[in-house]
Structure 1
Amino acid sequence: MYNNLQRRYIKEIKTNQEQNETIKNLTIKIHELEHNLREQRQRTEQLECKKVSKKARAVSEKRSQTPEGEATSCRHIYKKKESCCSTYLELLLKEIKKLKKENEKLSAERRALRNELAGLDKDFFEEIEDLKHAVQESVKLNNQYEKCLKQISAIYGLPLTAPL
């Protein structure tokens, strides 16, 4: 019984050591991933700052521009956060106004089309479907007539002239 208990104890120690090793490896991976995440967040912030900076330059040429070769630092942009944000907000407002105008145009067009469609009832569409069917049937009948005409002209040896 003592030997069994000793074996179980040794087995538990090994299991605990393996689990501790796994925890240690996972902790290291977590720290690496957190570090990578911080780096990527900083990179995205820098890219967003550059993007905002480029949009701000495009909208407002009154503002002093950085030379072409100079990299724009995010801290520099954050110092001018209010001006960047205001120009970014101006861009957003212009885009919103443009979209509202387009929305109004499309709404007006949709209303006009609805009013036009309201004048047409179900009977109209059924009549159009009937006409489509009638045209298809007449095309089939015309093809049959042409075949019959060709057969008759072949039987009697008459030349078939092209339709006028």
Structure 2
Amino acid sequence: MKNHKSLMRRYEREVRANTKHIETVASLNLRIQELEKLLSSANERVRLLEYQTQRYSPQPGWSTPRGHAQNRSRTTPGHRRRRSHSRQSYSPDNYSQELETVRKERDRLKKDKQKLKKELGALDENFFEEIEDLKFALQQSARLNQEYDKALKQVCENFGAPFPLDSLPSRPKKSSSASKRMSSSRRTR
């Protein structure tokens, strides 16, 4: 009985430790997914900013004829508003600055992602197998505990001693159908 108690304590410690590991793995996986989403959005922003920078930066030797510039200003009001707004708020310098900040953010996210992947890779390869083994051991010990309870009840009934419910560690409550069967079997004795 002493060995069983020490084994159960050790088992509970292992279950707690493995539960913490599982939670860590799950949170790391979620963080990796979040970082991948951020990275893809940052890459998209970089592509967009590069495109806009190339689009709005004048190339050497380019000149815009007056008629072409006037034709652009005669677009529909919605187009004019969008163009004038984008030209006012963004210049090639602004694009390059924003592009630089987005690239820095992307690089930082890549580093975070690599760090989290290393941390996830640091877990033991047999970690999940150990968890499954612990689950199986828990089921077996629960089955043994039920058998011990039955045997203890039988011994208590044979010797006329009360069953010590309070002295036993807390157990999961039985379903109502199981308790009905127990009470009906007691009545028939």
TM more than 0.5: no
Q: TM-score, normalised by structure 2?
A: 0.34
Q: Which has the larger radius of gyration?
A: 1
